[in-house]
Chain A
């Protein structure tokens, strides 16, 4: 199994509070991704990274920011959480940009009250 962990695994927070989710990998993979999973939508890309300090937006990036100061860590921040951000968040990693599988973390279930 790819060495990828996410923390916390579960979190309940209140509207308006900041939240940071962490993805940590031990595979030294260059590419990292944050997805959210919601019923009826599959997985949707929030942000991705193609190297240290190199990040870009995905299709549902509003309300989220990311940072990658080290190869192994990719942080997702909700600056001011809203109820619409209640979801399951998955981090994924990949060693190549194209035609290559992505390895997924176990997910973080976030509830915003």
Chain B
């Protein structure tokens, strides 16, 4: 079945460090891929998305490229800030899926220190 595997956390970085959070997926067909972010005490917000192979999603300095050959959608940021501290979720929506349900990874906690 469809599933998402993402890097276990927590991840702790110093401000201005480079961030990578790995995400791989299993899906029938060609899914759409998403990164969501959850700040403390809040719901999830869409960070970026990609709907077809080789698409690059980007937002707020974060980027992720849809790699069909490696079934991956790794999240990267060149220089993290303290305000990026949050939980990040990788998710997919399978084109064969009923009614657009999302499959989530387990989440990666990121803490950035000044």
- Which stretch, B13-21, B61-69, B71-79, B103-111, touches the partner chain A? B103-111
Q: Which residues of A contact B102 (CB under 8 A)?
A: 33, 43, 45, 92, 102
Given contacts A40-B106, A42-B105, contact A99 B99 (CB under 8 A): no
Query: CB distance A99 to B43 under 8 Å?
Result: no
Check B32 against A98 for contact (C-beta < 8 Å): yes
A56-B99 CB under 8 A given contacts A101-B46, A104-B45: yes
Cβ–Cβ contact A99 & B95, under 8 A: yes
Given A40, A42, A101, A104, which contacts B43 in the complex, CB threshold below 8 Å? A104
- Residues of B at under 8 Å CB distance from A? 4, 32, 34, 36, 42-46, 49, 51, 89, 93, 95, 97-102, 104-107
CA distance in complex: A60, B19 (Å): 33
Main secondary structure of the interface of B (DSSP, over half): mixed
Q: Which one, A40, A43, A94, A99, contacts B104 given CB within 8 A? A: A43
Residues of A within 8 A of B (CB): 31, 33, 40-45, 48, 50, 56, 58, 90, 92, 94, 96-107
Contact yes or no, B43 A43, CB < 8 A: no
**CB-nearest residue of chain B relative to A96?**
B100
Pull 17 A–B residue pairs with CB atoms less than 8 Å apart, ordered by A.
A33-B102, A40-B106, A42-B104, A42-B105, A45-B101, A45-B102, A48-B99, A48-B101, A56-B99, A58-B101, A90-B44, A92-B44, A97-B99, A98-B95, A105-B43, A106-B42, A107-B42
| Inter-chain contacts of A104 with B (CB < 8 A) | 36, 43-45
- Contact between chains at A31 and B99 (CB < 8 Å): yes
B101 touches A33 (CB 8 A): yes
On chain A, the residues within 8 Å of B51 by CB distance are 99
In the complex, what residues of B have CB within 8 A of residue A92's CB? 44, 102
Q: Which of A94, A97, A98, A107 has the most CB of B within 10 A?
A: A98
Q: How many angstroms from the CA of A42 to the CA of B93 in the assembled complex?
A: 15
Most A CB contacts (10 A, CB to CB) among B43, B51, B97, B107 go to: B43
Given contacts A90-B43, A98-B32, contact A42 B100 (CB under 8 A): no
